[in-house]
Chains A and B, each alone.
Chain A
Amino acid sequence: MVRRVRAEIGSAMFSTGSKYFFGITFLGAVSFAIYMLLIGESAIGATALFGLVGATGLLTALVLSTRDGSKDEEGVAASTAAPTASILPLIGAIGATLLLVGTITSPVVTLFGIVALLAAIVEWAVLSWSERASSDAAFNASLRKRLLNPIEFPVIAAVGLGVIIISFAQITLAIDKSVGAIAFIVLGSLVLAVGVLFSVRPSLKRGLVIGICVVGALGIVAAGIAGAGVGIREELVHAKEEGHYMHQECGAEKSKYFDKLPLEGVSATSSVDTHIDLIDGKLVASVQGIAGDQKTITIPRSNATNIVFRNMSDGEYRLVASLGSKMVTTDVKEDVVQCTQLIPQGSEQMLTLNIPKPAEAGKPFTLTVPGLTGQSIEVIVP
C-alpha cells in the first residue's frame, strides 16, 4: 500500500525538468555546506552559493508546480478546473514585505519574513502541482495532504505550543511570585476539568468544543500580551540590575534580589583542586593529594584552578580571593578580587582562579572571609 502511494507520488511529482533543477539545488546546497565548513571566513563565496541554492530552489518549485510547463505531461490536460482560491499568495506577499522591512529594522523580522515566504512557496507549489495531478479534485486534495500534512501538523502544533508557553511565561513574569503559583494551579485544574468534561461527554456539539478551546487559547494569549505590556515585576528588574547569575559583591551584601541559588551547588566535584572549609570560625584548605589541613596553597601560573568554598559555620559567609592588582591603563591600577556569593551553612560554591603572575614581594595573594579576622589562606603562585 505504502509503496504504491510512493510510486504514484514519485511518478506524478518528478518531471524531467524538475529533476534537473532539483539536482542543481542539491549540489548547490552541499557545496554551500562544505564551503561554510571548510572556508567559512570568506562571506562572499558563501553568499554566492546561498544565492544559487535560493534561485535554483525557486526554479525547482516553479517547474514542479507547472509540471515543466508542458502540455503533454500527464495530468495537465486533466485539470481543467480553475485553481482554488488560496490565502497562500497573501502570506507570501506578507513574507516578502517582512523580509524587506527586516533589512532596515531588525534581523528577527527578516527571519519571520523568510520563514513565511518559504512556507508560502512550498505550500503553494505543492498545492498547484496537486491540483493538476488528475481530473479528480478529491484525489488531488488527498495527494496534497499526503505530502504536506506530515510537515504541517507538527509545525502548527509546535508553533501553537510555543505561543501558549511564551504567553504563560509573560504572565508569570509580570505577577507576584506566589500569586503566579496559585493562578496556575487554578488554571491547570480548569484545563483538566474541561478535558475530563469533553471525554465523558463525547456527545457535546463540535462547535461548542471548538468554541471553548479557542476562547481559552485566546484568553491565555491576551493575558500574555497584557503581561508583556505591564513588564516584569519589580524585584526581577532589580535582580537584573544586580547581575542575576554573575552577581559579584565582595564585601557585605548590599543587593537583595539577585538569584543566589543557581551557584550554590557544585557538580564539578571531581575537578576540584582545593577545598576551602570554614569550620568553627576557622579557615582551612584541603588540597587534593596533600594530607592534612593547609594554610597555604600553591597553584601554577596561568592555569585555571578550581577551588570550592564550603561553609560549615553558622551564618552566611563568602570567600574573597584578593589577587593583587593589575594595570588597567598605563597609570591606573585596579585591585583584582574574586568572590563567591554569600552562602548559608552547609552550602558550597566554586571559584575558578587563573592567576597570570606571581604576587609582588610583601603583598601575598590571600583567601579570606569578610567578617572573620585573623583567618586567611595564602595563595602562592611560583
Chain B
Amino acid sequence: MRHQNTTDHGTTAVNRLAGMRRRVVGSIAGLAGTMFLAGCATNAPQDTFQPKGPNAKIIDDLQKPVFAVAGIIGVFVTVVVIIAVFKFRDKGQPIPHQSHGNPALEITLTIIPALILTVVGVFTFRTVFDLAKTSDTEMIINVTGQQWWWEYDYPVQNEYGITQPIITSGQLVIPAGTKVLLRQTSRDVIHSYWIPALNGKRDAVPGRVHLNRIEADKPGIYAGQCTEFCGLSHANMRMEAVALSKADFAKWVANQLKPYASPAENTLAKEGETVFMNQCIRCHQVNGMKRADGTPVIAAPDENMVSGAAPNLSHLMSRNTFAGATFDLLNKSCREDVWGAESESFGAKYLGGVSEDCLNQTDLRGWLRNAPAMKPMYANPALLTSSGGKYRGMPNLGLTESDIEKLVAYLLTLK
C-alpha cells in the first residue's frame, strides 16, 4: 500500500514536470512565432531595417551584409552540430581513434574568421567615421533631454529665416534633404535620442554635448523614443522628427517667429489667459506674453522643476503630440489624416496645426485635470519637502472644470 502510494506520487510529479515542459516549450514557440511575425509588420514606425535618410541608410548598408554573413555562418554551424550529434550518438560503438591537434586545420580556422572580421571591421570603421562627420552640416539644433521629454532650440540661422531663437518640444521639425546636426545634452540624467529611420542612437549626457547627424529624404513623421533608461516614465519619453519640404519649413519657421497675440477681450480664451498667468507661468514660458502692466512674463521652471525646465508652450498647437510625444493633440480622424498623408501633401496638413475641431479634447483635458494620472511622474505636492520643493513632471494642479474649459480655449490660440 505504502509502496503503491509513492509510485502514485512519482507519476504525478512526472506528469507535472511534463506539463511544465509543454508549457515552457509552448511559450517559447509562441514567443518565437510572435517575433517572426512581428518582423513582417508593415506598420512598424521604429523598424531599424527601414532607413528613411542617408545616415540610417549607411548603417543599414553595413548591418544587412554583416547580418547575412553572420546568418549563413550561424545556420551552417548549427546544422553541422546537429548532424554530428545525431550521426555520432552513442550506439554502443567502440571509442574511435583519438587524435591530438591538426596545425593546418587550426591555422585555417583561425585565419578565415580573422579575415571575415577584418573585412567587417574596415567597413564598420568607415561607417563610424561617416556618421561622425560634421564638416558638411547645414543646420544646427540644440537638443536637451530631461525627465521625460525633449526640448529643441534652434539658434539664430538667418539662411533659414531663423532670425530669433526658436524653442519647442516633443516634435523635432527639420527641413527634408538637409544635413541637420543635433547638439545633444541633458539637464538631469542620461537619456538617448533615437529616430531609427534617420540614424542610430546617441546618448544625451549632462554636462556634455554629443553630436548627432540626421537627415530625412522625404517629408513625413519619423517616430522614436528615449533609449536610455531614465526613470519612472522612461517608456513615455517619446519623440518624433517631422521633416518638411524646404518651402514648408520656411513657413513653419515664420509661424514660430510670429509674435504673441493675446486673445480678444471678453472671450473664454482671454479668461483662460488669466488662469494661465495664475497657474502655469511658474513653469511654462509663452514668449511675448505680457502682464496687464506691460511687463514681460518670464517663467521660472528653475525654481519649480528638478530639471529646471518645462515645455515652452508659445506654439503648442503647431505640434500634434504632447507630454513627451506620448499623447495626441489631434483626435483620431484628424491624426490619421496627417500621419497617413502622402509625402507631397503631408507638409500642408502638418502646418495646419491643431484646430478646435481636430483637438483631442479628452487627453488634453485629462492632462490638465491630473497630469500624473496620465503619465507617471514624481509630482506629488505632498512630497515636495523630500525633493527640495521641486517636481519631476507636471503636478496635479487641482483645477476646476471651468478653469480647464477656459485653459483649453486659451491653449487653442497658441498656434
Question: Distance (Å) between the CB of A308 and the closest chain B CB?
Answer: 13
Bound CA span A271–B186, Å: 12
Contacts of A273 in B (CB 8 A): 185, 209
Contact B211 A289 (CB under 8 A): yes
Q: Cβ of A290 < 8 Å from any Cβ of B?
A: yes
Bound CA span A358–B156, Å: 15
Contact A306 B142 (CB under 8 A): no
Contacts of B308 in A (CB 8 A): 301-303, 356
Contact of A356 among B142, B153, B183, B302 (CB under 8 A): B302
Residues 144-169 of B, flagged 1 when their CB comes within 8 A of A and 0 if not, give 10000001010110000000011100
Q: Cβ of B59 < 8 Å from any Cβ of A?
A: no
Contact of A298 among B165, B181, B307 (CB under 8 A): B165
Contact A289 B144 (CB under 8 A): no
Instruction: Count residues of A near B (Cβ-Cβ below 8 Å).
Output: 23
Residues 120-150 of B, flagged 1 when their CB comes within 8 A of A and 0 if not, give 0000000000000011010010101000000
Residues 162-185 of B, flagged 1 when their CB comes within 8 A of A and 0 if not, give 000111000000000000010101
Contact A302 B137 (CB under 8 A): no
Chain A 59-114 residues near chain B, CB threshold 8 A: none
Bound CA span A306–B156, Å: 20
Contacts of B151 in A (CB 8 A): 300
Contact B209 A303 (CB under 8 A): no
Bound CA span A273–B140, Å: 14
Question: Distance (Å) between the CB of B240 and the closest chain A CB?
Answer: 20
Bound CA span A280–B262, Å: 49
Contact A271 B208 (CB under 8 A): yes
Residue of B nearest to A272 (CB): B209
Bound CA span A361–B142, Å: 22
Contact B209 A382 (CB under 8 A): no
Q: Cβ of B389 < 8 Å from any Cβ of A?
A: no
Contact of B137 among A291, A356, A358, A382 (CB under 8 A): A291
Contacts of A361 in B (CB 8 A): 296
Contact B183 A289 (CB under 8 A): yes
Q: Cβ of B103 < 8 Å from any Cβ of A?
A: no
Contact B211 A288 (CB under 8 A): yes
Q: Cβ of B372 < 8 Å from any Cβ of A?
A: no
Chain A 286-312 residues near chain B, CB threshold 8 A: 288-291, 296, 298-304, 306
Residues 20-62 of A, flagged 1 when their CB comes within 8 A of B and 0 if not, give 0000000000000000000000000000000000000000000
Question: Distance (Å) between the CB of B374 and the closest chain A CB?
Answer: 25
- Number of CB contacts from chain A to chain B under 8 A: 73
Bound CA span A288–B155, Å: 14
Contacts of B189 in A (CB 8 A): none
Chain A 211-260 residues near chain B, CB threshold 8 A: none
Bound CA span A294–B211, Å: 18
Contact B309 A298 (CB under 8 A): no
Contact of A302 among B142, B165, B298, B309 (CB under 8 A): B309
Instruction: Count residues of B near A (Cβ-Cβ below 8 Å).
Output: 31
Contacts of A302 in B (CB 8 A): 187, 301-302, 307-309
A296-B156 CB under 8 A given contacts A302-B309, A382-B165: yes
Q: Cβ of B231 < 8 Å from any Cβ of A?
A: no
Contact of A380 among B140, B165, B209, B211 (CB under 8 A): B165
Contact B302 A301 (CB under 8 A): yes
Q: Cβ of B376 < 8 Å from any Cβ of A?
A: no
Bound CA span A289–B209, Å: 9
Contacts of A289 in B (CB 8 A): 134, 137, 140, 181, 183, 209, 211
Contact A300 B153 (CB under 8 A): yes
Contact B155 A380 (CB under 8 A): yes
A300-B298 CB under 8 A given contacts A290-B140, A356-B308: no
Contacts of B134 in A (CB 8 A): 289, 291
Q: Cβ of A357 < 8 Å from any Cβ of B?
A: yes
Contact A300 B137 (CB under 8 A): no
Q: Cβ of A11 < 8 Å from any Cβ of B?
A: no
Contacts of A306 in B (CB 8 A): 207
Question: Distance (Å) between the CB of B276 and the closest chain A CB?
Answer: 18
Q: List 7 A-B contacts (CB under 8 A).
A: A273-B209, A302-B187, A302-B301, A306-B207, A356-B302, A380-B155, A382-B153
Query: Which 8 interchain pairs have the tightest Cβ spacing?
Result: A302-B308, A356-B302, A382-B165, A298-B155, A382-B167, A289-B211, A300-B144, A302-B302
If A271-B208, A289-B211 are given as contacts, then 14 extra A-B residue pairs at C-beta distance below 8 Å, sorted by A number, are A271-B207, A288-B211, A289-B209, A290-B183, A291-B134, A300-B142, A301-B302, A303-B187, A303-B309, A306-B207, A356-B300, A356-B301, A358-B298, A380-B165
